[in-house]
A and B are shown apart, each in its own frame.
Chain A
Amino acid sequence: MGKLECSELTKVYQDHRKALDNVSFSVETKGIFGLIGRNGAGKTTLIRILATELEQTSGTASINDLDILKQTDKLREKIAIVPQEARPIRWMTPKQTVMSYLLWRGYPYKQANQLAAESLKKLNMEQYANTLNSRLSGGTKRKVLIATATASEAEIIFLDEPTTGLDPISRRELWDILRELGKTRFIFLTTHYLDEAEQLADQIGILKEGKLVSIGSLSDLRQSSRFQYSLKMPPNVQVPPLVDGEVTVGSSGYTQIMTNEAEAFSLARLLSEQNVKFSITPVTLDDIFFRIVGQKARDE
Protein backbone atom coordinates (compact mmCIF):
# COMPACT_ATOMS: atom_id res chain seq x y z
CA MET A 1 0.00 0.00 0.00
CA GLY A 2 1.34 3.43 -0.98
CA LYS A 3 1.67 6.53 1.11
CA LEU A 4 1.10 10.23 0.87
CA GLU A 5 4.02 11.88 2.59
CA CYS A 6 4.68 15.54 3.29
CA SER A 7 7.90 16.78 4.76
CA GLU A 8 8.23 20.32 6.11
CA LEU A 9 5.86 21.63 3.44
CA THR A 10 5.71 25.42 3.58
CA LYS A 11 3.90 27.89 1.40
CA VAL A 12 4.43 31.62 1.54
CA TYR A 13 2.40 33.57 -1.02
CA GLN A 14 3.75 36.56 -2.93
CA ASP A 15 1.96 38.90 -0.51
CA HIS A 16 4.16 37.31 2.25
CA ARG A 17 1.18 35.48 3.79
CA LYS A 18 2.29 32.16 5.23
CA ALA A 19 -0.42 29.64 4.37
CA LEU A 20 1.44 26.47 5.33
CA ASP A 21 4.10 26.21 7.97
CA ASN A 22 6.34 23.12 8.01
CA VAL A 23 3.57 20.60 7.48
CA SER A 24 4.82 17.03 7.83
CA PHE A 25 2.73 13.88 7.89
CA SER A 26 2.34 10.49 6.32
CA VAL A 27 -0.87 8.60 5.59
CA GLU A 28 -1.62 5.43 3.67
CA THR A 29 -3.30 6.11 0.34
CA LYS A 30 -6.40 4.07 1.03
CA GLY A 31 -9.86 4.94 2.27
CA ILE A 32 -10.77 8.53 3.03
CA PHE A 33 -8.52 11.17 4.57
CA GLY A 34 -10.32 14.23 5.91
CA LEU A 35 -8.52 17.50 6.44
CA ILE A 36 -10.35 19.92 8.70
CA GLY A 37 -9.62 23.43 9.82
CA ARG A 38 -11.15 26.86 9.97
CA ASN A 39 -11.39 29.13 6.94
CA GLY A 40 -7.88 30.29 6.09
CA ALA A 41 -6.22 27.40 7.96
CA GLY A 42 -4.42 26.30 4.77
CA LYS A 43 -6.62 23.40 3.63
CA THR A 44 -7.03 24.57 0.05
CA THR A 45 -3.36 25.53 -0.22
CA LEU A 46 -2.33 22.03 0.90
CA ILE A 47 -4.73 20.23 -1.42
CA ARG A 48 -3.69 22.41 -4.39
CA ILE A 49 -0.01 21.71 -3.72
CA LEU A 50 -0.61 17.96 -3.47
CA ALA A 51 -2.73 18.01 -6.62
CA THR A 52 0.22 19.68 -8.44
CA GLU A 53 -1.70 22.90 -9.10
CA LEU A 54 0.39 25.10 -6.86
CA GLU A 55 4.11 25.10 -6.14
CA GLN A 56 5.26 24.99 -2.56
CA THR A 57 7.82 27.47 -1.25
CA SER A 58 9.86 24.78 0.49
CA GLY A 59 9.60 21.20 1.68
CA THR A 60 8.74 18.09 -0.25
CA ALA A 61 5.77 15.82 -0.77
CA SER A 62 5.22 12.55 -2.57
CA ILE A 63 2.25 10.37 -3.34
CA ASN A 64 2.84 6.66 -3.82
CA ASP A 65 6.57 7.41 -4.15
CA LEU A 66 6.03 10.03 -6.87
CA ASP A 67 7.46 13.43 -5.98
CA ILE A 68 4.93 16.19 -6.61
CA LEU A 69 7.55 18.46 -8.21
CA LYS A 70 9.99 16.08 -9.84
CA GLN A 71 7.58 13.43 -11.14
CA THR A 72 4.61 15.64 -11.91
CA ASP A 73 3.72 14.02 -15.24
CA LYS A 74 3.57 10.50 -13.81
CA LEU A 75 1.66 11.70 -10.77
CA ARG A 76 -0.92 13.55 -12.84
CA GLU A 77 -1.86 10.26 -14.49
CA LYS A 78 -2.94 8.95 -11.09
CA ILE A 79 -4.77 11.92 -9.61
CA ALA A 80 -7.90 13.97 -10.19
CA ILE A 81 -9.29 16.96 -8.32
CA VAL A 82 -12.59 18.72 -7.82
CA PRO A 83 -11.51 22.19 -6.71
CA GLN A 84 -13.33 24.33 -4.21
CA GLU A 85 -16.03 26.45 -5.89
CA ALA A 86 -15.76 24.40 -9.11
CA ARG A 87 -18.93 24.35 -11.20
CA PRO A 88 -19.80 22.41 -14.32
CA ILE A 89 -19.78 24.68 -17.38
CA ARG A 90 -23.29 25.98 -17.84
CA TRP A 91 -23.52 25.59 -21.63
CA MET A 92 -22.69 21.90 -21.41
CA THR A 93 -24.59 18.84 -20.25
CA PRO A 94 -23.34 16.43 -17.55
CA LYS A 95 -22.42 13.86 -20.19
CA GLN A 96 -20.49 16.43 -22.21
CA THR A 97 -18.77 17.59 -19.00
CA VAL A 98 -17.57 14.13 -18.02
CA MET A 99 -16.66 13.21 -21.57
CA SER A 100 -14.58 16.29 -22.28
CA TYR A 101 -12.61 15.74 -19.07
CA LEU A 102 -11.86 12.17 -20.12
CA LEU A 103 -10.75 13.41 -23.54
CA TRP A 104 -8.39 15.81 -21.78
CA ARG A 105 -7.01 12.84 -19.91
CA GLY A 106 -6.28 11.30 -23.31
CA TYR A 107 -9.06 8.70 -23.62
CA PRO A 108 -10.15 7.89 -27.16
CA TYR A 109 -13.54 9.42 -28.06
CA LYS A 110 -15.49 6.15 -28.05
CA GLN A 111 -14.12 5.04 -24.69
CA ALA A 112 -14.68 8.49 -23.18
CA ASN A 113 -18.28 8.42 -24.34
CA GLN A 114 -18.83 5.00 -22.82
CA LEU A 115 -17.08 5.79 -19.51
CA ALA A 116 -19.02 9.07 -19.18
CA ALA A 117 -22.32 7.21 -19.47
CA GLU A 118 -21.16 4.58 -16.95
CA SER A 119 -19.95 7.16 -14.45
CA LEU A 120 -23.24 9.07 -14.54
CA LYS A 121 -25.14 5.79 -14.18
CA LYS A 122 -23.10 4.87 -11.09
CA LEU A 123 -24.20 8.12 -9.48
CA ASN A 124 -27.83 7.61 -10.56
CA MET A 125 -27.68 10.60 -12.86
CA GLU A 126 -28.69 9.04 -16.18
CA GLN A 127 -31.88 11.10 -16.29
CA TYR A 128 -29.83 14.32 -16.19
CA ALA A 129 -27.16 13.19 -18.67
CA ASN A 130 -28.40 15.44 -21.48
CA THR A 131 -29.85 18.32 -19.45
CA LEU A 132 -27.95 21.61 -19.55
CA ASN A 133 -25.80 22.06 -16.43
CA SER A 134 -27.34 25.51 -15.94
CA ARG A 135 -30.69 23.84 -15.23
CA LEU A 136 -29.40 21.46 -12.54
CA SER A 137 -29.74 21.94 -8.78
CA GLY A 138 -26.67 22.72 -6.65
CA GLY A 139 -26.42 19.15 -5.38
CA THR A 140 -26.69 17.64 -8.85
CA LYS A 141 -24.06 20.04 -10.19
CA ARG A 142 -21.71 18.87 -7.46
CA LYS A 143 -22.45 15.26 -8.37
CA VAL A 144 -21.59 16.03 -11.99
CA LEU A 145 -18.12 17.13 -10.88
CA ILE A 146 -17.66 14.05 -8.70
CA ALA A 147 -18.74 11.90 -11.65
CA THR A 148 -16.23 13.78 -13.80
CA ALA A 149 -13.27 13.18 -11.51
CA THR A 150 -14.16 9.57 -10.80
CA ALA A 151 -14.94 8.56 -14.38
CA SER A 152 -11.21 8.40 -15.05
CA GLU A 153 -8.63 5.85 -13.95
CA ALA A 154 -7.34 8.22 -11.23
CA GLU A 155 -6.54 6.30 -8.05
CA ILE A 156 -6.36 9.39 -5.88
CA ILE A 157 -9.18 11.91 -5.83
CA PHE A 158 -8.80 15.30 -4.17
CA LEU A 159 -12.07 16.95 -3.16
CA ASP A 160 -11.88 20.46 -1.79
CA GLU A 161 -14.95 21.10 0.37
CA PRO A 162 -17.21 18.94 -1.80
CA THR A 163 -20.41 19.51 0.16
CA THR A 164 -20.17 23.20 1.01
CA GLY A 165 -23.46 24.96 0.39
CA LEU A 166 -25.49 21.80 -0.12
CA ASP A 167 -28.74 21.07 1.71
CA PRO A 168 -28.63 18.27 4.34
CA ILE A 169 -30.20 15.66 2.05
CA SER A 170 -27.84 16.37 -0.84
CA ARG A 171 -24.93 16.28 1.60
CA ARG A 172 -25.93 12.84 2.83
CA GLU A 173 -26.38 11.59 -0.72
CA LEU A 174 -22.86 12.75 -1.50
CA TRP A 175 -21.57 11.09 1.67
CA ASP A 176 -22.94 7.76 0.44
CA ILE A 177 -21.21 8.27 -2.89
CA LEU A 178 -17.92 9.18 -1.23
CA ARG A 179 -18.11 6.18 1.11
CA GLU A 180 -18.47 3.91 -1.93
CA LEU A 181 -15.61 5.64 -3.71
CA GLY A 182 -13.39 5.31 -0.65
CA LYS A 183 -13.63 1.54 -0.94
CA THR A 184 -11.70 1.48 -4.22
CA ARG A 185 -9.75 4.75 -4.32
CA PHE A 186 -7.97 7.12 -1.97
CA ILE A 187 -10.10 10.16 -1.28
CA PHE A 188 -8.39 13.22 0.16
CA LEU A 189 -11.07 15.66 1.18
CA THR A 190 -11.09 18.96 2.96
CA THR A 191 -14.10 20.11 4.88
CA HIS A 192 -15.11 22.46 7.62
CA TYR A 193 -18.06 20.25 8.51
CA LEU A 194 -16.79 18.24 11.46
CA ASP A 195 -19.65 15.74 11.24
CA GLU A 196 -18.64 15.09 7.65
CA ALA A 197 -15.08 14.24 8.60
CA GLU A 198 -16.32 12.15 11.54
CA GLN A 199 -18.76 10.23 9.34
CA LEU A 200 -16.51 9.68 6.34
CA ALA A 201 -12.84 9.84 7.16
CA ASP A 202 -10.70 6.91 8.23
CA GLN A 203 -7.90 9.34 9.04
CA ILE A 204 -8.32 12.97 10.04
CA GLY A 205 -5.84 15.83 10.02
CA ILE A 206 -6.45 19.13 11.79
CA LEU A 207 -4.87 22.27 10.38
CA LYS A 208 -4.59 25.38 12.47
CA GLU A 209 -3.06 28.56 11.04
CA GLY A 210 -1.03 26.62 8.51
CA LYS A 211 0.26 24.03 10.96
CA LEU A 212 -0.87 20.43 11.18
CA VAL A 213 -1.70 20.15 14.85
CA SER A 214 -3.18 16.66 14.99
CA ILE A 215 -3.55 13.60 12.78
CA GLY A 216 -4.90 10.07 13.12
CA SER A 217 -8.12 8.09 13.20
CA LEU A 218 -10.92 9.46 15.35
CA SER A 219 -9.99 6.89 17.96
CA ASP A 220 -6.31 7.97 17.78
CA LEU A 221 -7.34 11.60 18.14
CA ARG A 222 -9.44 10.69 21.19
CA GLN A 223 -6.57 8.78 22.74
CA SER A 224 -4.11 11.59 22.16
CA SER A 225 -6.62 14.12 23.43
CA ARG A 226 -6.23 15.18 27.07
CA PHE A 227 -9.86 14.19 27.72
CA GLN A 228 -11.58 11.13 26.29
CA TYR A 229 -15.14 11.47 27.64
CA SER A 230 -17.80 14.10 27.67
CA LEU A 231 -20.70 14.40 30.12
CA LYS A 232 -23.62 16.72 29.45
CA MET A 233 -26.17 17.73 32.07
CA PRO A 234 -28.78 20.41 32.70
CA PRO A 235 -27.50 23.87 33.72
CA ASN A 236 -28.77 23.81 37.33
CA VAL A 237 -26.67 20.82 38.42
CA GLN A 238 -23.91 21.46 40.95
CA VAL A 239 -20.75 20.16 39.27
CA PRO A 240 -18.54 18.22 41.69
CA PRO A 241 -14.90 19.31 41.91
CA LEU A 242 -12.71 17.67 39.26
CA VAL A 243 -9.15 16.45 39.55
CA ASP A 244 -8.57 16.67 35.80
CA GLY A 245 -11.31 18.06 33.59
CA GLU A 246 -12.82 21.05 31.91
CA VAL A 247 -16.27 22.50 32.47
CA THR A 248 -17.98 24.60 29.82
CA VAL A 249 -21.47 26.02 29.53
CA GLY A 250 -22.84 25.67 26.03
CA SER A 251 -24.91 28.32 24.24
CA SER A 252 -28.04 26.16 24.78
CA GLY A 253 -27.45 26.31 28.54
CA TYR A 254 -26.27 22.73 29.15
CA THR A 255 -23.13 22.08 31.14
CA GLN A 256 -20.44 19.99 29.48
CA ILE A 257 -17.66 18.28 31.36
CA MET A 258 -14.75 16.81 29.47
CA THR A 259 -12.49 14.56 31.43
CA ASN A 260 -10.50 11.34 31.38
CA GLU A 261 -12.07 7.86 31.40
CA ALA A 262 -11.67 7.09 35.12
CA GLU A 263 -12.99 10.41 36.30
CA ALA A 264 -15.84 10.38 33.76
CA PHE A 265 -17.19 7.07 35.05
CA SER A 266 -16.78 8.00 38.70
CA LEU A 267 -18.64 11.24 37.96
CA ALA A 268 -21.34 9.29 36.14
CA ARG A 269 -21.85 7.06 39.20
CA LEU A 270 -22.13 10.11 41.42
CA LEU A 271 -24.67 11.78 39.14
CA SER A 272 -26.69 8.56 38.94
CA GLU A 273 -26.82 8.34 42.73
CA GLN A 274 -28.14 11.92 42.78
CA ASN A 275 -30.76 11.01 40.12
CA VAL A 276 -29.41 13.68 37.78
CA LYS A 277 -30.24 13.29 34.10
CA PHE A 278 -27.03 13.31 32.09
CA SER A 279 -25.37 11.79 29.05
CA ILE A 280 -21.91 10.31 28.78
CA THR A 281 -20.18 9.81 25.42
CA PRO A 282 -16.67 9.56 24.09
CA VAL A 283 -15.48 13.01 23.02
CA THR A 284 -16.59 13.85 19.49
CA LEU A 285 -14.49 15.33 16.72
CA ASP A 286 -16.23 18.62 17.54
CA ASP A 287 -14.91 18.44 21.10
CA ILE A 288 -11.40 17.60 19.97
CA PHE A 289 -11.42 20.23 17.22
CA PHE A 290 -12.66 23.01 19.45
CA ARG A 291 -10.18 22.13 22.17
CA ILE A 292 -7.43 22.46 19.57
CA VAL A 293 -8.56 25.57 17.73
CA GLY A 294 -9.91 27.20 20.87
CA GLN A 295 -13.25 27.78 22.52
CA LYS A 296 -13.42 31.20 20.84
CA ALA A 297 -13.97 29.45 17.52
CA ARG A 298 -16.91 27.49 18.95
CA ASP A 299 -18.49 30.64 20.30
CA GLU A 300 -18.09 32.27 16.88
Chain B
Amino acid sequence: MKRSRLSQILAGVLVNAIYEMKNYPIVLISTVISPLSLLFVITFVSGGALFGTAIEGGLIMIFFSSGIALQSDLAHLKNDFKLQDMVVSSPTTSRMYMGGMALAEIVYSLPALVILVALAGIYLHPSLIQIGILSIVLLLMFAVSVAIGFMLSTFSSDVVQSYAFSRMLTLLFATLPPVYYPITYVPSPFNYLAYLSPTTYAAEIIHSATGFLHISTNMLILDWAVLLVVSAVILFVAVKKTRWRDV
Protein backbone atom coordinates (compact mmCIF):
# COMPACT_ATOMS: atom_id res chain seq x y z
CA MET B 1 0.00 0.00 0.00
CA LYS B 2 1.34 3.42 -0.96
CA ARG B 3 1.11 5.72 2.04
CA SER B 4 0.35 9.40 1.66
CA ARG B 5 2.56 11.75 3.66
CA LEU B 6 0.05 14.49 3.04
CA SER B 7 -2.57 12.39 4.84
CA GLN B 8 -0.20 11.92 7.78
CA ILE B 9 0.30 15.68 8.07
CA LEU B 10 -3.42 16.29 7.61
CA ALA B 11 -4.24 13.91 10.48
CA GLY B 12 -2.33 16.11 12.92
CA VAL B 13 -3.97 19.27 11.62
CA LEU B 14 -7.43 17.73 11.91
CA VAL B 15 -6.94 16.30 15.40
CA ASN B 16 -5.08 19.21 16.96
CA ALA B 17 -6.96 22.07 15.30
CA ILE B 18 -9.79 21.60 12.81
CA TYR B 19 -11.92 19.10 14.74
CA GLU B 20 -11.68 21.10 17.96
CA MET B 21 -12.50 24.36 16.16
CA LYS B 22 -15.37 22.69 14.31
CA ASN B 23 -16.86 20.93 17.33
CA TYR B 24 -16.19 23.78 19.78
CA PRO B 25 -16.35 27.11 17.84
CA ILE B 26 -15.77 29.08 21.06
CA VAL B 27 -12.04 28.28 20.77
CA LEU B 28 -11.89 30.51 17.68
CA ILE B 29 -12.52 33.53 19.90
CA SER B 30 -10.07 32.52 22.60
CA THR B 31 -7.23 32.08 20.09
CA VAL B 32 -7.66 35.67 18.95
CA ILE B 33 -7.71 37.27 22.39
CA SER B 34 -4.18 36.51 23.63
CA PRO B 35 -1.98 38.11 20.92
CA LEU B 36 -4.42 40.96 20.22
CA SER B 37 -4.93 41.95 23.85
CA LEU B 38 -1.26 42.93 24.29
CA LEU B 39 -1.34 44.73 20.95
CA PHE B 40 -4.24 46.89 22.16
CA VAL B 41 -2.61 47.59 25.54
CA ILE B 42 0.71 48.65 23.98
CA THR B 43 -1.07 50.75 21.34
CA PHE B 44 -3.29 52.54 23.87
CA VAL B 45 -0.49 53.15 26.39
CA SER B 46 1.81 54.56 23.68
CA GLY B 47 -0.94 56.72 22.24
CA GLY B 48 -0.73 54.79 18.97
CA ALA B 49 3.02 55.37 18.52
CA LEU B 50 3.91 51.69 18.94
CA PHE B 51 1.06 50.25 16.88
CA GLY B 52 3.49 49.06 14.17
CA THR B 53 5.90 47.27 16.49
CA ALA B 54 2.95 45.84 18.41
CA ILE B 55 1.63 44.22 15.22
CA GLU B 56 5.06 42.69 14.64
CA GLY B 57 5.21 41.62 18.30
CA GLY B 58 1.83 39.95 17.92
CA LEU B 59 3.14 37.97 14.94
CA ILE B 60 6.27 36.91 16.85
CA MET B 61 4.15 35.90 19.82
CA ILE B 62 1.81 33.80 17.66
CA PHE B 63 4.62 31.91 15.96
CA PHE B 64 6.63 31.38 19.13
CA SER B 65 3.74 30.50 21.43
CA SER B 66 2.26 28.16 18.79
CA GLY B 67 5.37 26.01 18.90
CA ILE B 68 5.51 26.11 22.67
CA ALA B 69 1.81 25.26 22.91
CA LEU B 70 2.70 22.09 21.03
CA GLN B 71 4.47 20.91 24.19
CA SER B 72 1.39 20.94 26.38
CA ASP B 73 -0.98 19.80 23.61
CA LEU B 74 1.17 16.80 22.73
CA ALA B 75 1.71 15.93 26.39
CA HIS B 76 -2.07 16.07 26.88
CA LEU B 77 -2.72 13.81 23.89
CA LYS B 78 0.09 11.47 24.90
CA ASN B 79 -0.64 11.11 28.60
CA ASP B 80 -4.42 11.50 28.81
CA PHE B 81 -5.50 9.78 25.61
CA LYS B 82 -2.45 7.61 24.82
CA LEU B 83 -2.67 8.92 21.28
CA GLN B 84 1.07 8.98 20.75
CA ASP B 85 1.36 5.32 21.78
CA MET B 86 -1.16 4.39 19.08
CA VAL B 87 0.62 6.52 16.50
CA VAL B 88 4.11 5.25 17.37
CA SER B 89 2.94 1.70 16.60
CA SER B 90 1.80 2.75 13.14
CA PRO B 91 3.60 3.59 9.89
CA THR B 92 3.80 7.29 10.83
CA THR B 93 7.23 8.75 11.56
CA SER B 94 7.93 11.20 14.36
CA ARG B 95 8.63 13.87 11.73
CA MET B 96 5.21 13.45 10.11
CA TYR B 97 3.50 13.42 13.50
CA MET B 98 5.35 16.52 14.68
CA GLY B 99 4.90 18.27 11.32
CA GLY B 100 1.14 17.79 11.34
CA MET B 101 0.75 18.76 14.96
CA ALA B 102 2.95 21.84 14.53
CA LEU B 103 1.02 22.95 11.47
CA ALA B 104 -2.14 22.47 13.51
CA GLU B 105 -0.91 25.04 16.01
CA ILE B 106 -0.58 27.59 13.20
CA VAL B 107 -4.03 26.65 11.86
CA TYR B 108 -5.34 27.09 15.40
CA SER B 109 -3.89 30.60 15.42
CA LEU B 110 -5.19 31.47 11.95
CA PRO B 111 -8.00 33.79 13.14
CA ALA B 112 -5.51 35.99 15.02
CA LEU B 113 -2.94 35.62 12.24
CA VAL B 114 -5.40 36.81 9.60
CA ILE B 115 -6.25 39.90 11.66
CA LEU B 116 -2.58 40.73 12.30
CA VAL B 117 -1.55 40.19 8.67
CA ALA B 118 -4.43 42.39 7.55
CA LEU B 119 -3.39 45.10 10.04
CA ALA B 120 0.23 44.79 8.89
CA GLY B 121 -0.84 45.13 5.25
CA ILE B 122 -2.96 48.20 5.96
CA TYR B 123 -0.67 49.98 8.44
CA LEU B 124 2.88 48.89 7.61
CA HIS B 125 2.67 48.58 3.79
CA PRO B 126 5.65 46.17 3.83
CA SER B 127 7.84 45.78 0.73
CA LEU B 128 8.61 42.35 -0.67
CA ILE B 129 12.02 42.40 1.02
CA GLN B 130 10.44 43.29 4.36
CA ILE B 131 7.88 40.49 3.91
CA GLY B 132 10.75 38.12 3.12
CA ILE B 133 12.71 39.11 6.25
CA LEU B 134 9.58 38.93 8.40
CA SER B 135 8.69 35.47 7.04
CA ILE B 136 12.20 34.04 7.54
CA VAL B 137 12.45 35.32 11.12
CA LEU B 138 8.94 34.14 12.04
CA LEU B 139 9.57 30.69 10.55
CA LEU B 140 12.87 30.44 12.44
CA MET B 141 11.06 31.36 15.67
CA PHE B 142 8.41 28.76 14.89
CA ALA B 143 10.96 26.04 14.11
CA VAL B 144 12.82 26.72 17.35
CA SER B 145 9.70 26.73 19.48
CA VAL B 146 8.34 23.59 17.78
CA ALA B 147 11.63 21.79 18.44
CA ILE B 148 11.54 22.85 22.10
CA GLY B 149 7.85 21.94 22.38
CA PHE B 150 8.14 18.50 20.80
CA MET B 151 11.27 17.56 22.73
CA LEU B 152 9.72 18.56 26.06
CA SER B 153 6.46 16.77 25.27
CA THR B 154 8.20 13.45 24.72
CA PHE B 155 9.65 13.66 28.22
CA SER B 156 6.53 14.95 29.90
CA SER B 157 4.42 12.61 31.97
CA ASP B 158 2.32 15.21 33.75
CA VAL B 159 -0.20 17.34 31.90
CA VAL B 160 -0.67 19.94 34.65
CA GLN B 161 3.08 20.58 34.72
CA SER B 162 3.15 20.72 30.94
CA TYR B 163 0.52 23.45 30.74
CA ALA B 164 2.23 25.43 33.51
CA PHE B 165 5.59 25.06 31.77
CA SER B 166 4.07 26.07 28.44
CA ARG B 167 2.58 29.25 29.91
CA MET B 168 5.85 30.05 31.66
CA LEU B 169 7.91 29.65 28.46
CA THR B 170 5.50 31.83 26.48
CA LEU B 171 5.67 34.49 29.18
CA LEU B 172 9.48 34.36 29.41
CA PHE B 173 10.17 34.32 25.67
CA ALA B 174 7.24 36.05 24.00
CA THR B 175 5.60 38.42 26.50
CA LEU B 176 8.39 39.76 28.73
CA PRO B 177 11.09 40.39 26.07
CA PRO B 178 10.75 43.55 23.96
CA VAL B 179 8.89 42.10 21.00
CA TYR B 180 5.81 44.37 21.11
CA TYR B 181 8.00 47.50 21.38
CA PRO B 182 11.61 48.38 20.49
CA ILE B 183 14.37 47.34 22.91
CA THR B 184 15.28 51.04 23.35
CA TYR B 185 12.28 51.28 25.67
CA VAL B 186 13.86 48.77 28.08
CA PRO B 187 16.05 50.48 30.70
CA SER B 188 19.49 49.23 31.66
CA PRO B 189 20.33 46.65 33.06
CA PHE B 190 17.10 44.90 32.00
CA ASN B 191 17.95 45.31 28.32
CA TYR B 192 20.91 42.97 28.87
CA LEU B 193 18.60 40.40 30.40
CA ALA B 194 16.34 40.69 27.37
CA TYR B 195 19.17 39.42 25.17
CA LEU B 196 18.90 36.04 26.91
CA SER B 197 15.80 35.41 24.85
CA PRO B 198 16.07 34.51 21.14
CA THR B 199 12.83 36.40 20.52
CA THR B 200 14.65 39.67 21.35
CA TYR B 201 17.02 39.12 18.41
CA ALA B 202 14.08 38.21 16.17
CA ALA B 203 12.24 41.37 17.22
CA GLU B 204 15.31 43.54 16.67
CA ILE B 205 15.70 42.24 13.11
CA ILE B 206 12.01 42.79 12.31
CA HIS B 207 11.77 46.20 14.02
CA SER B 208 14.89 47.33 12.22
CA ALA B 209 13.74 45.98 8.84
CA THR B 210 10.52 47.97 9.09
CA GLY B 211 12.23 51.13 10.32
CA PHE B 212 11.00 51.14 13.91
CA LEU B 213 14.51 50.58 15.32
CA HIS B 214 17.81 51.97 14.11
CA ILE B 215 20.76 49.69 14.79
CA SER B 216 24.21 49.37 13.24
CA THR B 217 24.93 46.84 10.50
CA ASN B 218 27.27 45.01 12.87
CA MET B 219 24.48 44.70 15.42
CA LEU B 220 22.12 43.44 12.74
CA ILE B 221 24.66 40.82 11.63
CA LEU B 222 25.09 39.80 15.25
CA ASP B 223 21.30 39.46 15.64
CA TRP B 224 21.09 37.17 12.60
CA ALA B 225 24.13 35.17 13.74
CA VAL B 226 22.75 34.63 17.24
CA LEU B 227 19.31 33.75 15.92
CA LEU B 228 20.66 31.23 13.42
CA VAL B 229 23.12 29.65 15.86
CA VAL B 230 20.51 29.38 18.63
CA SER B 231 18.02 27.88 16.16
CA ALA B 232 20.58 25.37 14.88
CA VAL B 233 21.65 24.35 18.39
CA ILE B 234 18.08 23.94 19.65
CA LEU B 235 17.04 21.96 16.56
CA PHE B 236 20.14 19.76 16.89
CA VAL B 237 19.50 19.07 20.58
CA ALA B 238 15.82 18.39 19.87
CA VAL B 239 16.61 15.89 17.12
CA LYS B 240 19.13 14.12 19.37
CA LYS B 241 17.08 14.11 22.54
CA THR B 242 13.52 13.62 21.30
CA ARG B 243 12.10 10.20 22.13
CA TRP B 244 9.72 8.45 19.78
CA ARG B 245 10.09 4.90 21.04
CA ASP B 246 10.38 4.96 24.84
CA VAL B 247 13.50 3.58 26.50
Contacts and interface: CB of A to CB of B under 8 A. Distances in A.
Interface of A: 14, 48, 51-55, 72-73, 76-77, 79-89, 91-93, 96, 99-101, 103-109, 112, 132, 148-149, 152-153, 158
A106 B246 contact: no
B245 A55 contact: yes
Contact of A103 (B7, B80, B85, B245): B7
Contacts of A79: 89-90
B88 A53 contact: yes
Contacts, number: 116
Contacts of A158: 89
Give the one of B7, B19, B77 with max A CB within 10 A: B7
B83 interface: yes
A87 B15 contact: no
Which 5 residue pairs of A and B lie closest in terms of their CB atoms, listed nearest first?
A106-B3, A103-B11, A86-B82, A83-B82, A83-B85
A190 to B, nearest CB: 14
22 contacts: A53-B88, A55-B245, A55-B247, A82-B86, A83-B82, A83-B86, A85-B82, A86-B82, A86-B83, A86-B86, A89-B81, A91-B19, A96-B19, A100-B15, A103-B10, A104-B8, A104-B97, A106-B2, A106-B3, A106-B4, A106-B91, A149-B86
Contact of B7 (A80, A83, A93, A112): A112
B82 A80 contact: no
A108 B226 CA distance: 42
A137 to B, nearest CB: 17
The secondary structure that dominates the B interface is helix
A14 B246 CA distance: 11
A38 to B, nearest CB: 22
A109 B82 contact: no
A243 B21 CA distance: 72
A89 B23 CA distance: 12
Contacts of A14: 247
A227 to B, nearest CB: 40
Interface in B57-111: 77, 80-83, 85-92, 96-97
A103 to B, nearest CB: 4
Contacts of A85: 82
A104 B92 contact: yes
Contacts of B2: 106
B246 A53 contact: yes
A100 B20 CA distance: 13
B122 interface: no
Contact of A80 (B77, B80, B90, B247): B90
Contacts of A77: 1, 91
A112 B15 CA distance: 14
B5 interface: yes
Given A92-B15, A103-B10, A104-B97, A148 B89 contact: no
B24 interface: yes
B28 interface: no
A108 B86 contact: no
A106 B7 contact: yes
A52 B88 CA distance: 7
A86 B10 contact: no
B91 A103 contact: no
A76 B91 contact: yes
A84 B7 CA distance: 26
Given A89-B81, A91-B23, 18 more contacts: A14-B247, A76-B91, A79-B90, A80-B90, A87-B81, A89-B77, A96-B15, A96-B19, A100-B15, A104-B7, A104-B87, A104-B92, A104-B96, A104-B97, A105-B90, A106-B91, A107-B3, A109-B10
Contacts of A93: 19, 23
Give the one of A92, A104, A153 with max B CB within 10 A: A104
B131 interface: no
Nearest to B77: A89
Contacts of B24: 91
Interface string B1-38: 11111011011101100011001100000000000000
A294 B220 CA distance: 73
B169 to A, nearest CB: 24
